[in-house]
Structure 1
Amino acid sequence: MTKRIRKIVLFTIVTTLLTVTGCGDKKNTDTATSNKPAIAYIVANTANSKPVDSSAPIIQDTMIDCAENYGYSFIVRVDGEPELVSSENLDIDPQYKNAAKERLKRDATNKVTNLLQVLEGVHAVNPESDYLEAIRLAAASLRSLDNSYTSRNIICCGSGLGTTGYLNFQNNLLSAESQTIVKLLQEKEALPDLSGITVYWIGMAQTTAPQEKLNPKQSKNLENIWKSVIEAAGGEFVPNDYISVSQNDDTTDELPSVSIVNIPSDDPIVFEPEILEQPEQEEENAFEEPVILGESQIQFVGGKATYLDEESATETIRPIAEYLLNHTSVNLLLVGSTAGDITDESTLRLSQDRADTVKHTLVEFGVDDKRINTLGMGASDPWHINGAGYDETVGSAASSNRKVVLIDANTELAQQLMSSN
């Protein structure tokens, strides 16, 4: 028996049960069935993601609660092909529920010890990681139970940085707005059914080498993405601040490979007119970080570099021109991009022409054309979301790839883009 398992035996005697499962203390065996929790544990012991620490209070306490209240426990493995590895009905025959309280507690402790041993033994089998599919499998397992179960919760343990399936962060999803990702999943009918299910997530954004670490802003954005996805699926999202990931990385070299997710150097980009309306202050640069003009701000005729609504586009660009006229030290790079995942001569030309169209509008407002550089990148811009398709609907995931991005030409990123294209 490991030290961790021995700890749980003692822990069950002194612990105060968490309320996250919706269950109170069991005063006697007659009230046990009034709280009957069902819990699914999602375990991502994969390369590039730190393994779960089963001594985490939320894991131990929910397991104890589930065992003492005759609930149901599932354990799902995260890898490239998630699988249900454990399904345990923790109920007992009614005739045994009148046994001595000490005997019932001892039996519950034994069940928890066995469950923890199973959880600690979960390791990835297949390459990559698919958190969304693991959540779908856990939710389906919980929904398969009858109505006698009073709560249904998922405890998800892992970084959340999926590398395959519908929510593949190799597709530059960390550069996208969370609602754009939700729309992408809705378009593909890929959201799981999480109605009536609460998802508690521990270890979010906790990675290990060779995966590059996320900075605090990127970690928060990853959390916001999962929160939006889970809530759009009908569930409730609850992050757990306790860092319940193991510090032992010894086993990662023995696990199937997981692709590295390239971490973007910039935050998701949005067009916020109020930034451009600030009083003139040379020390504040509204374009030090990229700003996007997407289809919700300016829309072009399909396959052309002509505004669909020239008056609306002009009014959208007006505050940008006014900002540049008031901040003469700022020079811009305009990067045009297209939907789909193909970059060829036609998409490069179209994206270049659209960037030039925005430049022409700025020049018409009086901005010196020498202050504006343009670049067409087709579908190869740093903020492109792969796999979004060609949907023409404004606001769709594909729509987010039809854009012109504005950035200060003197930034390191702008200089890199201009020197390499």
Structure 2
Amino acid sequence: MGNRVIRCALVMVATVIIMGLTGCGTNGKNNSTKSVSSKPAVAYMIAHTANAKQTDSSAPMLQDTMIDCAENYGYSFIVRVDGEPELVSGENLDIDTQFKNASKERLKIDARNKATNLLSVLDEVTAVYPEVDYLEGLRCAAASLRSLDDSYTSRTIICCGTGLGTTGYLDFKNNLLSAEPQVIVEMLEEREALPDLTGMTVYWLGMGQVTAPQEKLTPKQTKNLEAIWKAVVEAAGGEFVPNDYITVVDEIEQKDELPSVSVVDIPADKPFVFNPEVLEEKEDNAFEEPVMLGESQVEFIGDEANYLSPDDAVETIRPIAEYLVKHDSINILLVGSTAGDVTDESTIRLSKERADTVKNTLVEFGIDTNRITTIGMGSDDPWHIKDAGYDGPVASSNRKVVLIDSRTDQAQALINNH
């Protein structure tokens, strides 16, 4: 009897041990978790160019990600971003299995030494070719990350630069800061120019942080620049994360040796795309800033000043007229514009006639004709996006009538110059 009890007890103990090892039993599935280690891959885009402040490699984002990459045997890429972006460094930070048995302290010291060496490489990356192409830099970084096998648990791009590209598909010299982010995305989709960022996270440091001779951006323009890149990254399948930490240094010792980067003319703040909420949100004066009637809202017959759909155009303009009836102290300037990059007698005439058509609709609603001034600017309006041609979403956004209070400084300048 005693031996039988002992044998039973031994069987029970053995069973418990086996269940613990195999994860079997009532809660075995929940209690057994396989540890999955992190193995990050990071691509650093460094745009040390003229007109931009140099990246500070001591920024926490750069320090932390590089150390994490080294400690977890990841992979680090460095991409130089200038007029012709190029991969300048690719480092596999894994080590032989035999060395992984060293003490944690030894491994951590070695990893931090590697990270320090790579961070020093970041400081040494400078532009080689004139101009700067951030979109191509993203394409290069993404291709590098995609070249790795599936053992890497995360793929991250850290872009250090102003975001003001001056060549390639996203050339901000073409007044892209005046464009709606979705219009930019549609243009890139139409041209099949989006990089593949599927499954990647893009952190952007130094957005809009320019230096002379580049004119500074207003907070609103910096916000729109960030919105454009966010829309592009997300449309390409990635996740966009801005970083507000000051990641640049004030002085650049090699400033005069860097290849030239064209100055981007900073445009007037882009017009709000009209919707009735604009009128509701700004009870005092909805037209103190420019408001745009785009082609999708008020479309004209090609090369004519007649509405393509008169009923739809009238219904779009109706709330504007009702607002002006209610606020009879506001006088309005209507600025007509056309697609393409040609401004001549015919485009000025056509754009003026289209502004006059909108004016006539407002007058039909009871607005005094003396309260409305119209001008036509062809493709010379301050919000025109250049090099967009006559087809596609960007060209469509260039066919517009912009409304602005005629008493504002911007409106007066437009009236006086035309």
**TM surpasses 0.5:** yes
Q: Matched residues in 2 for 1:287 and 1:194: separation?
A: 39
Alpha-carbon shift at residue 84 of structure 1 (Å): 0.7
Partner of 1:409: 406
Cα pair 1:295 1:399 within 8 Å, conserved = yes
Cα pair 1:174 1:268 within 8 Å, conserved = no
How do 1:265-284 and structure 2 match up within 5 A?
Answer: 265-276=268-279, 284=284
Q: Which 10-residue stretch deviates more, 377-386 or 91-100?
A: 91-100
Cα pair 2:201 2:241 within 8 Å, conserved = yes
Query: Relative to 1, partners in 2 of residues 1:34 and 1:401: Cα closer, same or farther, differing over 3 Å?
Result: same
Partner of 2:353: 353
Query: Relative to 1, partners in 2 of residues 1:322 and 1:134: Cα closer, same or farther, differing over 3 Å?
Result: same
Cα pair 1:336 1:355 within 8 Å, conserved = yes
Partner of 1:420: 417
Alpha-carbon shift at residue 107 of structure 1 (Å): 2.3
Q: Identify the match of residue 215 of structure 1 among 214, 218, 225.
A: 218
Alpha-carbon shift at residue 68 of structure 1 (Å): 1.3
Alpha-carbon shift at residue 277 of structure 1 (Å): 5.0
Q: Matched residues in 1 for 2:242 and 2:280: separation?
A: 36
Q: Secondary structure at the match of 1:64?
A: helix
Q: Identify the match of residue 116 of structure 1 among 115, 119, 138.
A: 119
How do 1:36-115 and structure 2 match up within 5 A?
Answer: 36-115=39-118
Q: Which amino acid aligns with 1:55?
A: S
Q: Matched residues in 2 for 1:408 and 1:61: separation?
A: 50
Q: Matched residues in 2 for 1:269 and 1:383: separation?
A: 11
Q: Which amino acid aligns with 1:98?
A: N
Partner of 2:7: none
Q: Secondary structure at the match of 2:204?
A: strand
Q: Secondary structure at the match of 1:39?
A: strand
Partner of 2:188: 185
Q: Which amino acid aligns with 2:181?
A: S
Runs of 4+ residues over 6 Å off in structure 1: none
Q: Secondary structure at the match of 2:251?
A: coil
Instruction: Give unmatched runs, 5+ long, in structure 2.
Output: 1-33
Q: Which amino acid aligns with 2:68?
A: D
How do 1:220-239 and structure 2 match up within 5 A?
Answer: 220-239=223-242
Q: Secondary structure at the match of 1:179?
A: helix
Q: Secondary structure at the match of 1:321?
A: helix
Partner of 1:385: 385
Query: Relative to 1, partners in 2 of residues 1:84 and 1:318: Cα closer, same or farther, differing over 3 Å?
Result: same
Cα pair 2:220 2:269 within 8 Å, conserved = no
Q: Matched residues in 2 for 1:297 and 1:366: separation?
A: 21
Q: Matched residues in 2 for 1:183 and 1:261: separation?
A: 22
Q: Which amino acid aligns with 1:391?
A: D
Q: Matched residues in 2 for 1:289 and 1:278: separation?
A: 13
Question: Rg larger in 1 or in 2?
Answer: 2
Query: Relative to 1, partners in 2 of residues 1:361 and 1:268: Cα closer, same or farther, differing over 3 Å?
Result: closer
Q: Secondary structure at the match of 1:397?
A: helix
Alpha-carbon shift at residue 276 of structure 1 (Å): 3.0
Matched, 1:288 2:291: no
Report how many aligned residue pairs link the two structures.
385
Cα pair 2:80 2:86 within 8 Å, conserved = yes
Q: Matched residues in 2 for 1:268 and 1:102: separation?
A: 58
Q: Identify the match of residue 145 of structure 2 among 132, 142, 149.
A: 142
Alpha-carbon shift at residue 369 of structure 1 (Å): 1.4
Q: Write out per-residue CA displacement over residues 116-153 of structure 1, whole angstroms, 9 at most, x where no aligned residue.
A: 12111001111111111101100010001111111100
CA RMSD, 1 decimal: 1.8
Q: Matched residues in 1 for 2:243 and 2:83: separation?
A: 25
Q: Secondary structure at the match of 2:79?
A: strand
Alpha-carbon shift at residue 278 of structure 1 (Å): 7.3
Q: Which amino acid aligns with 2:317?
A: I
Q: Secondary structure at the match of 1:75?
A: strand
Cα pair 1:139 1:194 within 8 Å, conserved = yes
Cα pair 1:277 1:319 within 8 Å, conserved = no
Query: Relative to 1, partners in 2 of residues 1:385 and 1:371: Cα closer, same or farther, differing over 3 Å?
Result: same
Normalised by the length of structure 1, the TM-score is: 0.88
Alpha-carbon shift at residue 100 of structure 1 (Å): 3.0
Cα pair 2:268 2:383 within 8 Å, conserved = no
Alpha-carbon shift at residue 50 of structure 1 (Å): 0.7
Cα pair 1:43 1:158 within 8 Å, conserved = yes
Alpha-carbon shift at residue 80 of structure 1 (Å): 0.8
